[in-house]
Amino acid sequence: MAKKSGNTIHLAIIGCGGMAGAHLNGYEEPVRSSETRFRIVAAVDEATDRAEGFARRLQANLGWQVATFKSVDQLLNSGLRVDGADICSPHGLHHVLSCQLLDAGINVLCEKPIGVTVKASKKIAATAKKRGLVAATAEQCRRAIGQRTIHWAFHDGDLLGTPKMWWAIKAGWQDPTHVGAWHWRVDRKLGGCGMVMDSGAHWVDTMRYWFGEIDSVYSRVEQIFDRKLQKGERQVKSAQEDFWTAIFNFKSGLIGTWSWTISAPGKGFTQLTMSGTRGSIVDSDIFHPAAFQANGECQMLDGTTYNMPKLQSMFLESLSPRRREELFPYGITGGVTLELWDFIDALSKSRPVEIDVEEGLRSKAVSEAIYESSLSGQVVKVADVLSGKVNAWQRDVDRMWKL
């Protein structure tokens, strides 16, 4: 459960890069709707100009005085009261910063993936439990109106029947001879690896939300072409994959297939189809379908079709006023704002968050199971990855972080 101090939740933003900017937009939205239970009191980034830019923006837009710091150590030594921290750092630092803040008595909301490995994620979970604090996973997609709608169509709405299968495929081309600029996401220690666990973390959470837990995974993950990046005066090899295909065996008996590549020359394509016994939903996004757009379509066995805006209106009409306010406070339907609001509301009311560290850990284990299966060439049980029995692919990263 959450622990807080005082009537207004005092938040710090840890890391002021690109995703943190999206969070800043998300914090401003409920304030414009008269949400008064929180304020941001600190911005932390080793690039002090970024932290100062956040502080100036919050002063200009909301009238808040925001202290800036170069490190979490400086923040903790300042004496400033902080009830919750929003961590938007490189993946490899998630467990380092989360545990440091939790040990200092501060609840945390940490960007996905919750940890760079399963073991790193478990360290956050253990620290949160020991301190009796909230460690929330900042997973936005399932909260958006589009994904809530699809969940309803397969479950409470009983529109599509029993889910049976899905397949998500995207093929395209990025020239491997192009030498881009190095960034932390391509680094094994800081990023963990590629899109399977980066944007893929969104889809794993979504598939679990829509279809339940996964029993086992079989996959191939490859780097078809060497891909180089410029790091200072030298070129380094990207650690990220450029191809994968994976089969998911769900505990319910449902089967899913997920394939992606940037190493297929020629005309690319994207297709997501999810089928129940009475109909299917199609979409054009295999990482965060229906989370940021309403381009999908529901196609029924009898030939009836519903576009996504129509399906969303059917879903909203099915909700009681109380339930609608619970899911979409202030009429907000965007996932980023809703994940932040959930954290604030949980701290304010001393209630659990929807997606805590344990939920993030279960999704993390599925992502890592994809890599572990490819390395071993075997079907991998997700439970074995979650328990640590299977961890060969993650072992070098754990050693780098002395886990």
Cβ proximity of 153 and 311 under 8 Å: yes
Q: Distance between CA 114 and CA 357 in Å, rounded?
A: 7
Provide CB contacts within 8 A for 126, sequence distance 6+. Answer: none
Q: Is 122 exposed, middle or buried (0-12, 13-18, 19+ CB in 10 A)?
A: buried
- Residue 118 inside a domain? The answer is yes
CATH number, position 109: 3.40.50.720
Q: Is 18 exposed, middle or buried (0-12, 13-18, 19+ CB in 10 A)?
A: exposed
Q: Is 87 exposed, middle or buried (0-12, 13-18, 19+ CB in 10 A)?
A: buried
Instruction: Let me know whether 150 and 281 are in one domain.
Output: yes
Instruction: Let me know whether 341 and 306 are in one domain.
Output: no
Domain count, the chain: 2
Instruction: Let me know whether 146 and 222 are in one domain.
Output: yes
> Mean pLDDT of all residues in the chain?
96
Which of 320, 343, 362 is where one domain is finished?
Answer: 320
Predicted model pTM: 0.95
pLDDT digits (tens, 9 = 90+) for 285-318: 999 999 999 999 999 999 999 999 999 999 999 9
pLDDT at position 5, please? Answer: 46
Report percent pLDDT > 90 for the chain. Answer: 97
Instruction: Let me know whether 157 and 129 are in one domain.
Output: no
**Exposure pattern of 226-245 as b/e (b: 16+ CB <10 Å)?**
ebbbeeeeeeeebbbbbbbb
Instruction: Let me know whether 349 and 310 are in one domain.
Output: no
Instruction: Let me know whether 127 and 149 are in one domain.
Output: no
User: What phi and psi, each to the nearest 5 degrees, are found at residue 58?
Assistant: -70, -35
pLDDT digits (tens, 9 = 90+) for 18-41: 999 999 999 999 999 999 999 999
- Residue 327 inside a domain? The answer is no
Task: Identify which of 74, 146, 62, 157 has the alpha carbon closest to the alpha carbon of residue 328.
Answer: 146
Per-residue confidence at 193, pLDDT binned at 50, 70, 90? confident
Instruction: Let me know whether 311 and 343 are in one domain.
Output: no
Per-residue confidence at 4, pLDDT binned at 50, 70, 90? very low
Q: Distance between CA 114 and CA 228 in Å, rounded?
A: 28
Question: What angle do the packed helices 357-376 and 118-131 form, to 10 degrees?
Answer: 160
Residues, the chain: 403
Q: Provide mean pLDDT across the span 65-86.
A: 98
Q: Provide mean pLDDT across the span 182-206.
A: 93
Whole domain around residue 297: which residue ranges?
142-320
- 122 DSSP assignment: H
Sign of the dihedral through C-alpha 276, 279, 282, 288: negative
Q: Provide mean pLDDT across the span 124-129.
A: 98
Instruction: Let me know whether 304 and 342 are in one domain.
Output: no
pLDDT at position 255, please? Answer: 98
CATH number, position 204: 3.30.360.10
- Residue 383 inside a domain? The answer is no
> Does pLDDT of 349 surpass 50?
yes
Q: Distance between CA 204 and CA 201 in Å, rounded?
A: 5
Find tokens 């980066």 and name the residue: 198
Per-residue confidence at 7, pLDDT binned at 50, 70, 90? confident
Cβ proximity of 45 and 75 under 8 Å: no
Instruction: Let me know whether 89 and 188 are in one domain.
Output: no
Q: How far apart are the first and last CA of the chain?
A: 26
Q: Provide mean pLDDT across the span 236-240.
A: 92
- Residue 45 inside a domain? The answer is yes
Instruction: Let me know whether 114 and 166 are in one domain.
Output: no
- Residue 390 inside a domain? The answer is no
Q: Provide mean pLDDT across the span 352-366.
A: 98
